A = this chain, B = another copy of it.
Amino acid sequence: MSRAALLLCQVLVAVVVLALWQVFTTVPLFGRILLPPFFFSNPIDVFSQIINWFASGVIWKHLAITLWESILAFVIGSALGILVGFWFARQPRVAAVFDPYVKMTNALPRVVLAPIFALWFGLGIWSKVALGVTLVFFIVFFNVYQGVKEVSTTVLDNGRMLGMSERQLMRHVYWPSALSWMFSSLHTSVGFAVVGAVVGEYLGAAAGLGYLIQQAEGVFDVAGVFAGMFVLSAFVILIDMAVTVVERRLLVWRPAAAREA
C-alpha cells in the first residue's frame, strides 16, 4: 500500500467514525438516540470547541503544561524503568528479593496516592509528573527486564568469550538485544504518560488540559470534555512518531519485515 493510499484509508476511518458519531447523537434510530448527546456531545460541537480554543489561544498554555508534564513523565519513567530493568535482569538475586514488592507497588491505585504526591511534590507540575512516572515506569520496567533475559545464549556467550566486561556486555549485547522490547513498551507508555499527567491535573491543578476537561465536566459541557481528549490524543500521535523515528534509527540492523505470503 502506498503512503497516499494508506493516508486515504486512515482519513476514511476517521470520517466514518465521525459520521457515525454525528448520526447516532442526533438522529433517533429505532425510536431512540443511540448515543445521548448529553454524554457524547457531537463531532460538530466538539470541533467548534477545539477551533474556538485554538482561535482564542487559551489552549496553548494548558496544552504546553500538559505536554511538558507528559514528556517529563515519559522520559523519567522510561529512564528509571530501563535502569531498574537492566539492574534487576543482571542481578538475579536483587530481582528475586524485590520481585514481589515491585509487583505489589504496581498494583497500587495511583489515584489514591494523589494526596501523597501533592504533599511531596506540591500542586505544580511535579505531582503530575510523579503520577505519570508511576505508570510509565512499570510498563517499561517489566519489558526491559524480560528483554534482557531473552538475549540469545549463544550471542551472549560469544560476548563473554570475547572478554567483555559487564559494562561492555550491557552496551554491546544486552542493550541492542533488549531494544525491540524496550520500544514496544515505549509505544504503550507514551499513552500512559499522558494519562498520568491528565489524571494528575484532574485531581488537583491550576492549569493543563486535565484542568480544562474537569472544568468542562463541572458545567456538564461534554463537548469541552471530548475536545480536550481529542487535542490530547492528537499530540500523543506526535510524541509517538518521535519515538518511532528513534526506533527506526536504532533498529536498522533488523531484517526487513517477514516476506509476504
Taking Cβ atoms with an 8 Å cutoff, the residues of A that contact B are: 1, 6, 9-10, 13-14, 36, 39-40, 92-93, 96-98, 100-101, 103-112, 115-116, 119, 138-139, 142-143, 145-147, 149-151, 153, 156, 160, 166, 180-181, 183-185, 187-188, 190-192, 194-195, 198-199, 202, 210, 213, 217, 225, 229, 232-234, 236-237, 240, 255, 257-258, 261
Contact = CB atoms under 8 A, between A and B. Distances in A.
B234 A104 contact: yes
B188 A106 contact: yes
Given A39-B116, A96-B1, A142-B188, A149 B257 contact: yes
A256 to B, nearest CB: 9
Contacts of A191: 103, 106-107, 138
A245 to B, nearest CB: 15
A77 to B, nearest CB: 13
A188 to B, nearest CB: 4
A142 B184 contact: yes
A-B pairs, 6 with minimum CB distance = A106-B191, A104-B233, A146-B184, A107-B236, A107-B191, A109-B198
A153 B255 contact: yes
Nearest to A234: B104
Contact of A105 (B6, B96, B217, B233): B233
Contacts of A149: 257-258
A189 to B, nearest CB: 9
Contacts of A188: 106, 138-139, 142-143
A217 B114 CA distance: 12
A112 B202 contact: yes
Contact of A236 (B6, B14, B104): B104
Most central of A36, A98, A109, A190 by chain B CB within 10 Å? A109
